Amino acid sequence: EDKVVQSPLSLVVHEGDTVTLNCSYEVTNFRSLLWYKQEKKAPTFLFMLTSSGIEKKSGRLSSILDKKELFSILNITATQTGDSAIYLCAGLNTGTASKLTFGTGTRLQVTL
Amino acid sequence: NAGVMQNPRHLVRRRGQEARLRCSPMKGHSHVYWYRQLPEEGLKFMVYLQKENIIDESGMPKERFSAEFPKEGPSILRIQQVVRGDSAAYFCASSYSGANVLTFGAGSRLTVL
């Protein structure tokens, strides 16, 4: 059975800190790794990573995939209170359905 | 672009009743997915549908649960004879053909009393 494990489960940091969120995966016929941010409403898409070693960046967020070690990290620099959310990692296989296997998420709280 | 619309946002049912959750995909999206999120757990895949077809229902319980995506109208996730364990957030997502990035709706939170 496909599995995605995220760590830490929760994290509290001060505004301005840098955080690294971890995601390891075991996904049969792996295609891509996706990151989502979940606040109170819909999970919103952050990154999709398909190739190893290529960093993707969006503002203060960046992510990279290691297909040899089967993990990905999500970095957030200069955190702000608006970054407080649950960050979800999901593995996508190459099957006929775009079926994502999600981890349980990392709950990030950024305090003043 | 209204995004993926789900309703109701909150639904309360007593044990034994039926729950119907609706999902309208983003404009131009013909693929719909349903996921369930139990408290303190990750999103779990339930079913993947295209118009009038169920493509993959491997994550859906065999009994009491059904899903459809008719030619006209929203996708419906139907739960018959609900039990307390069905209490969860049910998220719908959509994508256009060939895309792997799913756009999620805000979810429908079902509470079974």
Tens-place pLDDT, residues B13-71: 999 999 999 999 999 888 999 999 987 788 999 999 998 899 999 999 999 999 999 99
Classify B84 as helix, strand or coil: helix
| CA of B16 vs chain A CAs: smallest distance (Å) | 28
pLDDT tier at A1, thresholds 50, 70, 90: confident
Instruction: Answer yes or no: are the C-beta atoms of A101 and A3 closer than 8 Å.
Output: yes
Task: Tell me whether residues A44 and B104 touch, CB distance under 8 A.
Answer: yes
Task: Tell me whether residues B3 and A102 touch, CB distance under 8 A.
Answer: no
Q: Within its chain, how far is the Cα of B43 from the centroid?
A: 12
Task: Please provide residue A82's backbone torsions phi and psi, each rounded to the nearest 5 degrees.
Answer: -70, -10
Instruction: Answer yes or no: are the C-beta atoms of A21 and A39 closer than 8 Å.
Output: no
Lowest mean pLDDT among A53-57, A79-83, A91-95, B28-32: A91-95
Q: A93 — contact with chain B (CB < 8 Å)?
A: no
- Is B94 exposed, middle or buried, given 0-12, 13-18 or 19+ CB atoms closer than 10 A? buried
**A 4-63 residues with CB below 8 A of B?**
4, 31-32, 34, 36, 41-45, 48
Structure tokens at B93: 């997502």
Distance, CA of A72 to CA of B5 (rounded, Å): 31
Q: Per-residue pLDDT for A96 more than 70?
A: no
Amino acid identity, position A41: K
Structure tokens at A97: 């359905």
> Helical H runs in chain A?
none
Cβ-based neighbours of B93, under 8 Å, separated by 6 or more: B4, B32, B33, B34, B35, B102, B103, B104, B105
DSSP tag of B86: G
Task: Tell me whether residues B107 and A41 touch, CB distance under 8 A.
Answer: yes
Sign of CA dihedral B69, B70, B72, B76: negative
Structure tokens at B62: 């065999």
Instruction: Answer yes or no: are the C-beta atoms of A42 and B91 closer than 8 Å.
Output: yes
Name the residue of chain B whose CA is nearest to A47's CA.
B101
Chain B residues lying within 8 Å of A4, measured CB to CB: 42
Instruction: Please count the residue pairs, one from chain A and one from chain B, whose beta carbons lie less than 8 angstroms apart.
Output: 63
Chain A residues lying within 8 Å of B58, measured CB to CB: 99
Q: What is the mean pLDDT of residues A51-69?
A: 95
Instruction: Answer yes or no: are the C-beta atoms of A2 and A27 closer than 8 Å.
Output: yes
